[in-house]
């Protein structure tokens, strides 16, 4: 079942790319007591994700924080080393936390998996963005396959 507004963020252990290397985080703890914007992408270094999705959140991180967002995070079904390299390549610095859901456990727990096995990519995350306050989803926008409208930073900025 796909996560929706009013649902709690599932507590799953994933990895976060940090300057010190990969760090295990529990999503239940990561979202607790904060307002978090989480956006998911099908994959690091992929065309739309690299040209538009992640850069939009990097550029709008200060505006989101000015509206009360404590944490902006990007998630993909990739490993923490790939997410760290992508964040470095994109100049993320401390503006966006780079979360790695290597086995798609968190993605599946939210019902946001997308099977791209036929295209050689395996199970990935649908393109989405959500806002959660104290671990409860208050807004979620899931893109239709191939689309990039409702999950971009500017749309999320209006929803916060």
Query: Do β-strands 128-133 and 136-142 pair in parallel, antiparallel, or remain unpaired?
Result: antiparallel
Q: How many CB atoms sit inside 10 A of residue 157's CB?
A: 17
Q: Which domains does the chain possess? A: 13-159 (3.40.30.10)
Q: Is the pLDDT of residue 156 over 80?
A: yes
Q: Is the pLDDT of residue 47 over 90?
A: no
- Rg of the chain, C-alpha, whole Å: 14
Token digits of residue 42: 């099908």
Token digits of residue 62: 């200060």
Q: Specify the pTM.
A: 0.94
pLDDT tens per residue, range 103-142: 999 999 999 998 877 776 778 899 999 999 999 999 999 9
Catalytic residue numbers, as ranges = 49
* Cβ atoms 44, 76 nearer than 8 A: yes
Query: Do β-strands 13-18 and 97-100 pair in parallel, antiparallel, or remain unpaired?
Result: antiparallel
User: For residue 91, what are the CA distances in angstroms to 20, 33, 86, 97, 131?
Assistant: 16, 27, 9, 12, 23
């Amino acid at each position: 079942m796909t996560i929706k507004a009013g649902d709690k963020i599932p507590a799953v252990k994933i990895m976060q790319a940090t300057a010190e290397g990969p760090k295990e985080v529990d999503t239940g703890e990561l979202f607790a007591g904060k307002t978090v914007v989480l956006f998911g992408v099908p994959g690091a270094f992929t065309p739309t994700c690299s040209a538009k999705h992640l850069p939009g959140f990097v550029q709008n991180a200060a505006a989101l924080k000015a509206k009360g967002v404590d944490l902006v995070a990007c998630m993909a079904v990739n490993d923490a080393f790939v997410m760290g390299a992508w964040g470095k390549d994109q100049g993320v610095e401390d503006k966006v936390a780079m979360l790695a859901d290597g086995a798609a456990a968190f993605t599946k727990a939210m019902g946001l998996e997308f099977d791209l096995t036929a295209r050689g990519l395996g199970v990935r995350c649908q393109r989405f963005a959500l806002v959660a306050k104290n671990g409860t989803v208050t807004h979620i926008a899931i893109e239709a396959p191939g689309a990039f409208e409702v999950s971009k930073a500017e749309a999320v900025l209006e929803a916060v």
